[in-house]
Amino acid sequence: MELSLKGKIAIVGGASMGIGYGIARMLAAEGARVAMTARREPALREAAERLRAETGTEVLPVQADSRRADDCKRVVETVVAQWGGVDILVNNDGAPPLGDIMSFDDAAWQKAMEQNFMYVVRMVRGTVPHMKARGGGGIVNISAISAIQPIAGFGLSVASWGGMIGYAKTASIELGPFGINVNTVCPGYIETSRLEKVFAAGGEDTAKMRADLVAQVPMRRIGTVDDVAGLVALLVSPRGNYITGATIQVDGGLLRHVR
Ligand SMILES: NC(=O)c1ccc[n+]([C@@H]2O[C@H](COP(=O)([O-])OP(=O)(O)OC[C@H]3O[C@@H](n4cnc5c(N)ncnc54)[C@H](OP(=O)(O)O)[C@@H]3O)[C@@H](O)[C@H]2O)c1
**pLDDT for the residue numbered 197:** 84
In 10 A of CB 16, how many CB atoms? 23
**pLDDT for the residue numbered 220:** 98
Any ligand 1 atom below 6 A from CB of 146: no
Atom of ligand 1 nearest to the CA of 146: 6
Residue 256 maps to a domain: no
Atom of ligand 1 nearest to the CA of 197: 20
Which distant-in-sequence residues (6+ apart) come within 8 Å of 104 by Cβ? 112, 155, 156
Residue 7 Cα to ligand 1 middle (Å): 26
Contact of 243 with 183, CB cutoff 8 Å? yes
Based on the domain organization, do 149 and 200 belong to the same domain?
Answer: no
**pLDDT for the residue numbered 259:** 79
Q: What is the CATH number of the domain that holds 76?
A: 3.40.50.720
Residues in the chain with pLDDT values less than 50: none
Residue 193 Cα to ligand 1 middle (Å): 9
Based on the domain organization, do 169 and 75 belong to the same domain?
Answer: yes
At 86-124, the pLDDT tens digits run: 999 999 999 999 999 999 999 999 999 999 999 999 999
Residues spanned by the domain of 158: 9-188+224-250
Based on the domain organization, do 164 and 211 belong to the same domain?
Answer: no
Domain count within the chain: 2
Residue 3 maps to a domain: no
Atom of ligand 1 nearest to the CA of 187: 6
Residue 94 Cα to ligand 1 middle (Å): 3
Any ligand 1 atom below 6 A from CB of 68: no
Atom of ligand 1 nearest to the CA of 15: 43
Residue 155 identity: G
Instruction: Using only the alpha carbons of the chain, give its radius of gyration.
Output: 17
